[in-house]
Amino acid sequence: MDKNRVLITGGSRGIGKGLCDAFLSDGYEVLATCRDASQMTSKDKNLIYESLDISNPVSLEEFKSVVDDFKPSVLINNAGITKDNLFLRMSDEEWTDVLNTNLTGTFRVTKLVAKLMLKAKWGRIINISSISGIMGNPGQTNYSASKAGMDGFTRSLAKELGARNITVNSISPGFIETDMTKGLIDESLIEKIPLGRAGQVSDIASIALFLASEKANYITGQTLVVDGGLFMK
């Protein structure tokens, strides 16, 4: 297994795209997924896009051969969705779709990759959760529950895989400037952040690169909050 191969789910935009760029710059070969890879182009020979719907077991089964061929040493579970609504108005579908994608999808992808890491006796699994899973957020009971579940998943899996030199950690972003958060980050929100600014994608990517490296080989089962001090335990 080549230690410089990373699989990044949800790699077509936002934090996922930033992660792809950062790992490419650091010399990694990158396998990135999105729902429709036919819409994606890349001029970098070390970047491959593949179609994957992590909420669909059939799509995961079709993706298995791609994972087996690529043999990633690093997995970043970044793909996720939101379907915000006030709790009493939230439909069963809105609840189930978010949990099935964000949490169950992470379970399914990780299961494919962990088998290869166990054979290689080395691996890095990095889950992109959210500050919403720690502090909660009105209108996001489904999203917050899925991300809190991801952090619990991280801790339990870290205890199972640690003996095989596989680390499992979460990165919990606060409010990060991306095309998806435009219009959501206003002055009243910035005032609540001790560092006085929204985060950049590079703030998340730098932590991911560290966790993927040998420098982080004694860190596992942790949730690293990257939010400018918005939430402090």
Catalytic residues: 143
CA distances to 87, 160, 214, 231 from 206, rounded to whole Å, are 35, 26, 14, 20
Give the span between the Cα atoms of 14 and 171, in whole angstroms.
15
Give the span between the Cα atoms of 211 and 23, in whole angstroms.
12
Give the span between the Cα atoms of 219 and 230, in whole angstroms.
23
Give the span between the Cα atoms of 49 and 29, in whole angstroms.
11
What is the DSSP annotation of 180-221?
Answer: TSTTT--HHHHTTSTTSS-B-HHHHHHHHHHHHSGGGTT--S
**44 touches 24 (CB < 8 A):** yes
Give the span between the Cα atoms of 81 and 149, in whole angstroms.
15
